[in-house]
Structure 1
Amino acid sequence: MYVDPPAPRAKGRYEAPPITSTGPLEDPQRAWRFNPDYERLVTAWETVKPQLDDLRVVLDKAFALAKSPQTWDAPVGERYVEDIREWRNRLALYRQAVLTSISDEAADTPRWVQTTANAPHAYPS
């Protein structure tokens, strides 16, 4: 069993850009917005994780049924149990790879980016 990596955090309802110890972010003339690339990673996580959970539940149910003595009364049944066990292992590895790649990308992507839209200017052009 694997533990899921940390999920990217969606923007909080009242979340604002971070403030440094010297005051507002480096350039007060620049506006900040939540990074759309980071937002896409949040959406990807929220889309993929429930689907992976559903697949795991279905395979777990099939595995439990296949292991039941009422399902198989022939030695060939063990082959199907082994096949389902292998599918479960592959799904666990796939899940770990997909969620880790999203989590790693989110860790390398800034949550806030600067934008020039709606930024105050001392001298209008």
Structure 2
Amino acid sequence: MYADPPAPREKETDEVPPISSAGPLDIPQRAWEFNPDYQRLVVAWNTVLPQLETLKTALDKAYGLAKSPQTWDAPVGERYIQDIHEWRTRLAAYRHAVLTTISDEAADTPRWIPTSANAPHAFP
């Protein structure tokens, strides 16, 4: 079984952008915005994870029912149990691949990006 990689963090209500290291006289002064590309990764994670959980729950339920002695009384049942087990294994690998891809992309994407919009200027 795989452990889920770290999820991209949503913007917190009290989170502030990084402060310019050049100080208040930085010309031009920088304004920051939360990176829309990073936000898309947060949305992708929050969209995909519940769907993967739904699939996992459905396969786990089917696997539990298939293993029950009340479900199968013929040797063919073992083949179905092996098939469902294989589907569960593939889903776990797929889940790991998808979530790792999103997590890796989020690690490489800056949370805040500089923008010139609404930047304070010394003279109007």
Normalised TM-score (structure 2): 0.92
User: How is 1:1-125 mapped onto 2 (pairs within 5 angstroms)?
Assistant: 1-19=1-19, 29-124=29-124
Counting matched residue pairs gives 123
Q: Deviations over 1:50-80 (max 9, x none)?
A: 1001100000000000010100000000000
- 1:94 Cα deviation after fit: 0.3
- 1:122 Cα deviation after fit: 2.7
- 1:30 Cα deviation after fit: 1.1
Residue identity (%): 73
Q: Is the 8 A contact 2:32 2:114 kept in 1?
A: yes
Unaligned stretches of 5+ residues in structure 1: none
Q: Which runs of 4+ in 1 moved over 3 A?
A: 19-24
SS of structure 2 residue aligned to 1:81: helix
Q: Deviations over 1:52-111 (max 9, x none)?
A: 011000000000000101000000000000000000000000000000000000000000
Give the Cα–Cα distance (whole angstroms) in 2 for the partners of residues 27 and 37 of structure 1. 27
- 1:22 Cα deviation after fit: 6.9
- Give the stretch that moved more between structures: 113-122 or 58-67: 113-122
CA RMSD of aligned residues (A): 1.8
SS of structure 1 residue aligned to 2:17: coil
Amino acid at match of 1:98: V
Give the Cα–Cα distance (whole angstroms) in 1 for the partners of residues 23 and 116 of structure 2. 20
